[in-house]
Structure 1
Amino acid sequence: MTTQKSKNRLSARDITKAAMFIALMAAGANATAFITIGTVPMTFQPFVAILAGILLGSRLGAFSMIGYAALGLIGAPVFAQFTGTAVIVSPTFGFVLSYILMAFSAGLIMERSRRTVPAYFTASFSAITICYVFGYTYWYFFFTLSAGGALSMGGYLAILATWIPFIIKDLIMAGVAAVIAPRIDKAVNRRNTYTGTSTAA
């Protein structure tokens, strides 16, 4: 019982790592947010969410993304274009929620795989797929219904085609995350705190 409780308790190191990724998410939200396609800003948040999952694991990675979302929802201007609680009534709120799922899924894949190059790529591209399946679908429903339009698969795909620049950017970023993650992983997780295995030489 005591062992299980200790596993579930976050250490000071865990909290520090989570806080670091919360800060990186805030920075990634606004580093290029002045570049927009339509009304949607370009951000590096999916890239950071992927790394959070790979480097922190499913539990701590998701916790860091929940912390980021909570910080914005209480009013801190950490979302794209320095917004806070206003994002709740924005169609892009689905992407904020998707970051939690992205980090969790990327971490879970790494926890259940040997830490090989294919595993890093699988985790990265699975996470970016979740980002768009969940985030874009939320955006489409919110945008279409708030505009009084009718939902249809044709409309869903037609609007998705206009998101190609975002998709290309995020696919590239997912690839970059998969390439750099092994080196960062070895540096950050010499003792893998979320699997209990040592990666030290």
Structure 2
Amino acid sequence: MTIMSGGFGLCGNPETLIDAVRRAETKDLTVISNNAGADRFGLWALLNNRQVKRMISSYVGENKLFEQLYLSGELELELNPQGTLAERIRAGGAGIPAFYTRTGVGTVVAEGKPTEVFDGIEYVRERWLQADLSLVKAWRADPEGNLVFHKTARNFNPMMAAAGRVTIAEVEEMVPAGTLDPDHIHTPGIHVNHVIMATINEKRIERLTEREREDA
């Protein structure tokens, strides 16, 4: 099956749901995610458990296990420019089967894909992405499945929620119906099939650097 997993780096990852997939031991997964977690966190657990057959990703540079599996031939990889990945997912949720972009023209990204010239400029055609199951992490939800994401933890989550045939959201807080201001809802409940309370809410920092503050 194909699974979309929200998050960017270690921000906004559905850790509770990833752990549930790990415990289910489902094999031969295709996973669509911007990255693949970090050492012993996030999607790393599924890679370590040899549950992932193929990754459709953008940034994989911090994951040594990912590198090892890919170079050994145990893991297939479809690498996307980050903006293209985001738009392919958004298109999947919007019901747009294909679109054109200049990104990747004349590179290996465009190999085997149709191209077309618009106004004298060449574009490559990219296909939408959809998933059997989307796993997302939200800050708040109400009983109807309306979701609010917290700052940058929004990242890929709303787009993936719309692009999954079945979407499960794990949330940090459940609020009563009518509590959420409609103008503040990022993902309407029509896109969400199930909501669970998150049991893993670590706020890890992937790479921490510090410097002394200079005097004004």
Report the TM-score, using the length of structure 1 for normalisation: 0.30
Higher strand proportion: 2
Flag the structure with larger Rg.
Answer: 2
Higher helix proportion: 1
